[in-house]
Structure 1
Amino acid sequence: MGPVPVLSLVRGPPAQRAARAADVMVDVTKWPLFSLMGPEALASVRRACVFGSSANEAIYITYDDERLLETTWTRMSPVLPPHAQVHVFGLNCSSCLGTGDSQSTIVPKKLDFLSGRKVTSLSYGSGPHVLLATADGELFSWGHNGYSQLGNGTTNQGVSPGLVSATLLNKKVVQVACGSHHSMALTDSGEVYAWGYNNCGQVGSGSTANQSTPRRVSICLQNKVAVGIVCSQTSSLAVVDNGEVYGWGYNGNGQLGLGNNGNQLTPCRLVGLQGLCVQQLVCGYAHCLALTDEGELFAWGANTYGQLGTGNKSNQLSPVQVLAERERVVEVAACHSTHTSAARTQSGQVFMWGQCRGQSLVLPHLTHFSCTDDVFACFASPSVMWRPLALEHDDFLTVAQSLKKEFDNPETADLKFCVDGKYIYVHKAVLKIRCEHFRSMFQSHWNEDMKEVIEVDQFSYPVYRSFLEFLYTDQVELPPEDAIGLLDLATSYCENRLKRLCQHIIKRGITVDNAFSLLAAAVRYDAEDLEEFCFKFCVNHLTEVTQTAAFWQVDGNLLKDFICRASRCGAFRN
């Protein structure tokens, strides 16, 4: 399992930084846990994070004061307005949900202890354990604590959020980061604190003894002002205000980027990035990605799955440039529970590489995604989030959504159809744009062009309404029996795509009782593919189909043709 190992140091005023962070919108239901929630509950989610060894835990934040929608930002970390509520659900391994017990829950529970607090930073480790910092600078921890990674001086599991106060009483924490079983905190004055598991020196204390409470990482950073911190599994890194990068801890795969593979018990500067100003730094399981203020991407560390994007699987002990031939990179992504990497360019192209759904991509692969978060939802194993998602909800509608909203709206319509005595309100321009039949109809020499109401008597109301709605939405929702009528309309109006959709609905809804009726319809409307499908279904269920009313009510010639065809297929052999 991993943390949310993101350090983003975008320069510029808060409003400008916030705008850059909201460049893309993310669908949180791409993570299976959130697909369990209904639309109303999803609409209230403002921040979300999926974590756990199998992406089986989730934490999300809502707020109920809609008057306070403006968001302030600190180092690209969203600060929630008052009345924030923290909710959790999932498997609850090692009590990482903080609900006071070890019981799993598929129904979200509210962490009352954190109600009303503004969350500025969130991270998680492999146990898993969770760190959460508030706008007031308070630091809370809960979950797995076998190595004192909760920083409370014990190794007792934290079943509820606890305040980490030792040595941090008068400090204001602005960012947190978790390794597998160690933790780090960054204060507003640029001081770095670390604690927990220290077998490789990842706490930066100069020894390999575990650290049960937060301890300042002072050696080599004493006179430096850190502006960001990140962790891989058993390594730690920090960026200082001049863009230099320092690393310490495990280095067996070169993940510290120092040019060797020896562990470091205290911070060491990455000389391979000398002269560069690092703007964003992220860590994977055992590799790192750095983005400079000029949009250059560098990678180093483990490369078993091609996660460095260099075209091979050889580890790199020093930073190497990636995507050099591409346009400026504006965001990089990695998560220390995965071996996956991603990047987004200035034009919005999203690349991924490394371990992606079991495959090893050794070179950056251009995806169809609009944000790096989708890479981890769809291709990472486990499909955790590489950072907490900021979900902004507004009233903006896409063109497709606007069209769908205006269908059958009498307030904006300029034409209505009367079918079976019922009206359907539409827009003449939309019909002309979407359908050749209406382009021909609405010409000056056609009577219909002058009418405000058009009577339709050859099709039923459900069928014709569904057809008109299809022109607005590209979607059809009808039972298979009504889809037969819509198939007739699609054939008459030469709407081939609609014809295919009807056939799909009929195939999906075929049963023993309606199979022969559907076969008859397919024959009548020359839908050869559908006819073959229905015929095979009838033959495979011959005994049951021949006992239905539909079988004996069909035209005699069709019945004869079916019997002859079924006989040739051997349906009546003893």
Structure 2
Amino acid sequence: MASGSKNDIVNRLLNVRLDDGGGGDELPPQNMLPSNQQARQLGQIQEEENGQASEPHASSSAIENLQPINNTGGRLHNWQATKTTVKERLSFLFNNEILCDVHFIVGKDANQQVIPAHKFVLSVGSAVFDAMFNGVLATKSDEVELPDVEPAAFLHLLKFLYSDEVRIGPESVMTTLYTAKKYAVAALEEHCVDFLKSNLGTDNAFLLLTQARLFDEPQLAALCLEMIDKNTADALNAEGFTDIDQDTLNAVLERTLVRRYE
């Protein structure tokens, strides 16, 4: 084909508009490079002229499908490549819909929350979950209701199982301790008890003694009693004293009488 014909084709594809010198309004500067579509068309024409077959090109829709839909819902493409350790990969799956195979309906009424999880991770970290999902009487449902557990405490438990991270505070330590005991996660139980020990004082000794007896924590109970023995007046004047149960009060009185007659 003559070079003049090739120039005509290029001019048509690039929509070149020759300025005839008229007095019309000037157009804003345009990109001097051809668009992707025009470039592909130009390449295909030149290949056909040279007798070469063009290869198929990936569509933009196919490329867009590789992008993440969202962080918790759909599949996130190649997220594993950004997590260099097992801990990072498991931590990423915490409270995440990706690869989720069970949902927990935690709490009740207005406080109820649906929490996604992964049976394998839970089974590895808890004998109770292992029996729940893999035992003789394993549940077949992909939804598990936990009306007696606080959502925040359950999330603390899962966070620990997925990453070994401990997130407890004064407002959540007791509910987290209950949840850790319920699912036999001894390491998290220990963290909760250590937190209570480090925050034990005359203002909460009676209250923590009640909880220690409730959760069968003899070491914590002994520390509470020791604190009460050394600071009886302050402990009795604390606000928490009026909230203790009858059994705890009887235990303290019996202990006091025994010590007096020793």
TM-score range, shorter chain: 0.5 to 0.7
Change (3 A) 1:493 1:552: same
Match of 1:419 in 2: 106
Pair 1:408 & 2:95 matched: yes
- Aligned amino acid, residue 161 of structure 2: L
Cα distance in 2 for partners of 1:433, 1:501 equals 19
Offset, 1:445 = 5.2
Counterparts of 1:72-111 in structure 2, within 5 Å, are none
Alignment partner of 1:438: what SS?
A: helix
**Contact map agreement 1:484 1:518 (CA 8 A) in 2:** no
Counterparts of 1:145-294 in structure 2, within 5 Å, are none
Match of 1:443 in 2: 134
- Aligned amino acid, residue 399 of structure 1: V
Match of 2:143 in 1: 453
Change (3 A) 1:569 1:444: closer
Offset, 1:444 = 7.0
Alignment partner of 2:145: what SS?
A: strand
- Structure 2 gaps of 5+ residues are 1-80
Offset, 1:396 = 4.8
2:179 aligns with one of 486, 489, 494: 489
**Contact map agreement 1:522 1:530 (CA 8 A) in 2:** yes
Provide, for residues 366-413 of structure 1, a one-character-per-residue CA deviation record: whole Å limited to 9, x for no partner: xxxxxxxxxxxxxxxxxxxxxxxxxxxx95532112212220012332
Match of 1:150 in 2: none
CA RMSD of aligned residues (A): 2.5
- Aligned amino acid, residue 557 of structure 1: D
Match of 2:235 in 1: 545
Provide, for residues 83-128 of structure 1, a one-character-per-residue CA deviation record: whole Å limited to 9, x for no partner: xxxxxxxxxxxxxxxxxxxxxxxxxxxxxxxxxxxxxxxxxxxxxx
Match of 1:294 in 2: none
Pair 1:509 & 2:199 matched: yes
Offset, 1:519 = 0.9
- Aligned amino acid, residue 127 of structure 2: E
Match of 2:226 in 1: 536
Change (3 A) 1:444 1:496: closer
Offset, 1:491 = 2.9
Match of 2:168 in 1: 478
Provide, for residues 127-155 of structure 1, a one-character-per-residue CA deviation record: whole Å limited to 9, x for no partner: xxxxxxxxxxxxxxxxxxxxxxxxxxxxx
**Contact map agreement 1:479 1:509 (CA 8 A) in 2:** no
Match of 1:336 in 2: none
Cα distance in 2 for partners of 1:396, 1:452 equals 27
Match of 1:200 in 2: none
Give 1 or 2: higher strand fraction: 1
Cα distance in 2 for partners of 1:562, 1:497 equals 30
Match of 1:238 in 2: none
Alignment partner of 1:469: what SS?
A: helix
Cα distance in 2 for partners of 1:512, 1:452 equals 46
Offset, 1:471 = 1.0
Give 1 or 2: higher helix fraction: 2
What TM-score do the two structures reach when normalised by structure 2?
Answer: 0.60
Change (3 A) 1:525 1:474: same
Cα distance in 1 for partners of 2:82, 2:142 equals 32
State the structure with more CA Rg. 2
Offset, 1:481 = 4.8
Cα distance in 1 for partners of 2:136, 2:192 equals 32
Q: What fraction of aligned residue pairs are identical, expressed as a percent? A: 25
- Structure 1 gaps of 5+ residues are 1-393
Could you list the structure 1 runs, at least 4 aligned residues long, displaced by more than 6 angstroms after superposition: none
- Aligned amino acid, residue 489 of structure 1: T
- Aligned amino acid, residue 479 of structure 1: G
Pair 1:397 & 2:84 matched: yes
Change (3 A) 1:534 1:401: farther
Change (3 A) 1:445 1:478: same
Cα distance in 1 for partners of 2:123, 2:241 equals 41
**Contact map agreement 1:480 1:510 (CA 8 A) in 2:** no
What TM-score do the two structures reach when normalised by structure 1?
Answer: 0.29
Aligned residues: 177
Cα distance in 1 for partners of 2:130, 2:171 equals 29
**Contact map agreement 2:101 2:117 (CA 8 A) in 1:** yes
